[in-house]
Structure 1
């Protein structure tokens, strides 16, 4: 038995955390599904699809990672305020 009180942290899987996971998993799925982009057409300014598709995902991955980070920060602040409000 420990002397620390039980703290209700809420559910571990929330809709926000599912969105965060999807934001982080989407680039991996897109890049591992090689059959979807292993072609040369359509070209963009003379660059084959294979290359510009991957470079586009660099930008998309950055945006998704930033979104996931912002959502995580918001989730952590909400949990901290719930715990602080419950104990006061």
Structure 2
């Protein structure tokens, strides 16, 4: 175990759960082959099996970008919380001396 500040286990927050779901959803959709292993309905002559997978390429892109933006938001919030905690700790330490 490390005693270094900022090193340790992460905190599970609803935002991080949403990030995980955004990243896991495409895998679940593609690994559940029974849900799309059929030919009907066709879309402009393309069997369902193929256009469903191509649709998930686009959906996966949107979900990955969403997860990235949420992660950036989470990290900015964490950095500001850490900075405010450090500021509070330094002001406490300065008042005690």
TM normalised by structure 2 equals 0.81
1:1-88 to 2 correspondence within 5 Å? 12-88=11-87
Listed one character per residue, the Cα deviations across residues 1-21 of structure 1 (whole Å, up to 9, x for unaligned) are x885x55x8x61000000000
The equivalent of 2:94 in structure 1 is none
Runs of 4+ displaced beyond 6 Å: none
**What is the RMSD of the two structures over their aligned residues, measured on CA atoms?**
2.2
Listed one character per residue, the Cα deviations across residues 19-63 of structure 1 (whole Å, up to 9, x for unaligned) are 000000000000000000000000000000000000000000000
Structure 1 stretches lacking a partner, 5+ long: none
**Cα shift at 1:75:** 0.1
Larger Rg belongs to: 2
Which structure would you say has the larger RCO, counting Cα contacts within 8 Å and 6 or more residues apart? 1
TM normalised by structure 1 equals 0.89
